[in-house]
Structure 1
Amino acid sequence: MAEKGLVLLYTGNGKGKTTAALGLALRTAGHGQKIFMIQFMKGNPKYGEIQASKFIPNFTVVQKGRDTFVRKGNPEPVDLELAKEGLNLAKDILQKGEHDLVILDEINVAVDFGLLKEEDVEDLIKFKKPNTTLVLTGRYASEKLISIADMVSEVEEIKHHYKKGIPAQAGIEF
């Protein structure tokens, strides 16, 4: 039986959705396969995954966001434009079918914040080639996207070090 590309969705309020997708990318790279990751709403080139991608063969990461928080319900025009660029890039990558794994990091949040339409993400899924696995990450995944996905994992927060006043740390949060 030929391998089938899947739609995997990581959501929930707990920490670890991007980390899970990156773990999958590492596993995929270990099999000599090609990975393309688009980070929506993220724009800091110092993130650990950006730095590490330079050392992992066949792993490309592109950020389509700014290094600042987006205001939900009132995004700035630049945030809308960057999200649109990310969506168009994702469509192009999926149509070409040259990558085994495509990760759309924080795309669920981009939809929830109004940067993208849910229908646009549904359409992206239709462009996926049969052997490409597509990963969607981020809090607030819609019921529609959850129903479309082949696998959904919800990351639940039980306890978080932020609540003890411990700030974000390199290698842990970014």
Structure 2
Amino acid sequence: MIEHGAAERRKRHGLTIVYTGDGKGKTTAAIGLVVRAVGNQMRVFFLQFIKGSWQSGERTVLRGLSGVDLEVTGRGFTIEELRDSRIPMDDHAAAAAHGWRVAQTIVSQGAYDLVVLDEILAAVTAGLVSVDELLEMVRSKPAELHLVLTGRNAPAALIELADLVSEVQPIKHPFDKGIKAQRGIEF
């Protein structure tokens, strides 16, 4: 793990950043921020909610970056049209509860400079994580911690509380033409 001076952390104003919207690129934007943070010798924890255990290109890279710890807690998509019906919603709920406990511990300990909760908003939308608990986490996070939250349907209260909110909107997507997700582009 990269050592980062306590004095440097104390003078930092930790931001809450939200990447939301129906378009592709929310996780990609968060990973770009991770790369920038690592390039500045920051310590990063990247926690993925919802997304299953399948291997993706970004996970391979994140696992190889010095200064980045990655944990995947999801069981796969929860929205009805994409959900694997062989995985009971109770399993999704248990995975999200575990992820939420990890997130609470990581955020409260203050050992990282940047924490990404990828697809946390999908977990909130699916009713697997409480919006009130998420808002409390944002309010009570260490002052120097940068916290990134991704996923569709960011609640208005979170948008109000965040320092930076980017909405990713779809204009055109290959899926609309029946083209399936492409390795190296979407996973």
Flag whether TM exceeds 0.5 (same fold): yes
Structure 2 residue 14 is matched with structure 1 residue 5: yes
SS at match of 1:60: strand
Unaligned runs of 5+ in 1: none
Question: How far did residue 71 of structure 1 move?
Answer: 4.5
Question: 1:53, 1:59 within 8 Å by CA — same for their partners in 2?
Answer: yes
Q: Which amino acid aligns with 2:35?
A: L
C-alpha distance in 1 between matches for 2:182 and 2:111: 34
Q: Structure 2 unaligned segments of length 5 or more: list them.
A: 1-9
The amino acid that maps onto 1:25 is: V
The percent of aligned pairs where both chains have the same amino acid is: 42
Matched, 1:112 2:125: yes
RMSD: 1.7
Q: Deviations over 1:18-68 (max 9, x none)?
A: 0000000000001111000111101224111211122211111111111x3
Large movers: runs of 4+ above 4 Å: none
TM-score, with structure 2 as normaliser: 0.87
Which among 60, 78, 85 is matched to residue 70 of structure 1? 78
The separation in 2 between residues aligned to 1:44 and 1:82, in whole angstroms, is: 11
Counterpart for residue 4 of structure 2: none
Structure 2 residue matching 1:54: 3-state secondary structure: helix
Amino acid at match of 2:56: Y
1:76-114 deviations in whole A, cap 9, x for unaligned? 111111111111101100111011100000111111111
The answer to whether residue 92 in structure 2 is matched with residue 79 in structure 1 is: yes
Larger radius of gyration: 2
Q: Please name the residue that 1:22 is paired with.
A: 31
TM-score, length basis structure 1: 0.93
1:140 to 130, 153, 176: 153
SS in 2 for 1:88: helix
How far apart are residue 69 of structure 1 and its match?
2.6
